[in-house]
C-alpha cells in the first residue's frame, strides 16, 4: 500500500507537517480574526455605552435646567403677584385713608 522508500517517507512527512502547519496557521488566523472582530464589537459596545451615558446625562441636565426654569418662572410669577397684591393693598389703604379723611373733612365742614 505504501512505498517505504525513504524519499517517499520524507516527502510524506514533509507534506503532513506542512498540512499541519497550514491547518494550525488557518486556525490561528481564524482565532485572530475572531478576536479582532470581538474586540471591534467590544469597542463598539463600549463607545455605544459611552454615548448612551453621555445622552442620559445630557437629558438629565436638560430636565434639571427645564425644572429650574420652571421654578424660576414660578418664583418670578409669584413675586409679580406678590408685588401686584402689595401695590394693590397699598392703593387700597391709600384710598381707604383718603376716603376717611374726605369723610372726616366732609363731616367737619357739615358740623361746622
Q: Is 56 helix (H, G, I), strand (E, B) or coil?
A: helix
Look at residues 41, 57, 81, 76 and name the one whose alpha carbon lies nearest to residue 65. Answer: 57
Torsion angle of the four alpha carbons 72, 74, 78, 80, in this order, in degrees rounded to the nearest 10: 70
Task: Report the pLDDT value the prediction gives residue 3, as an integer from 0 to 100.
Answer: 59
Query: What is the three-state SS of 97-111?
Result: HHHHHHHHHHHHHHH
- Per residue in 27-74, pLDDT (tens digit) is 999 999 999 999 999 999 999 999 999 999 999 999 999 999 999 999
The end-to-end CA distance of the chain, in Å, is: 154
Residue 9's pLDDT band (boundaries 50, 70, 90)?
confident
Check pLDDT > 60 for residue 1.
Answer: no
**What per-residue confidence (pLDDT) applies to 6?**
76
Q: Which of 35-39, 80-84, 107-111 is the least confident region? A: 107-111
Amino acid at each position: 500500500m505504501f512505498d517505504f522508500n525513504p524519499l517517499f517517507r520524507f516527502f510524506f512527512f514533509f507534506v503532513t507537517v506542512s498540512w499541519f502547519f497550514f491547518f494550525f496557521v488557518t486556525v490561528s488566523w481564524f482565532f485572530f480574526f475572531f478576536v479582532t472582530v470581538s474586540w471591534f464589537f467590544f469597542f463598539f459596545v463600549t463607545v455605544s455605552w459611552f454615548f448612551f451615558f453621555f445622552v442620559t446625562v445630557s437629558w438629565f441636565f436638560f430636565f434639571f435646567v427645564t425644572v429650574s426654569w420652571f421654578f424660576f418662572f414660578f418664583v418670578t410669577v409669584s413675586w409679580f403677584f406678590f408685588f401686584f397684591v402689595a401695590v394693590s393693598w397699598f392703593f387700597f389703604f391709600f384710598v381707604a385713608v383718603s376716603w376717611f379723611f374726605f369723610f372726616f373733612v366732609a363731616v367737619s365742614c357739615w358740623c361746622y
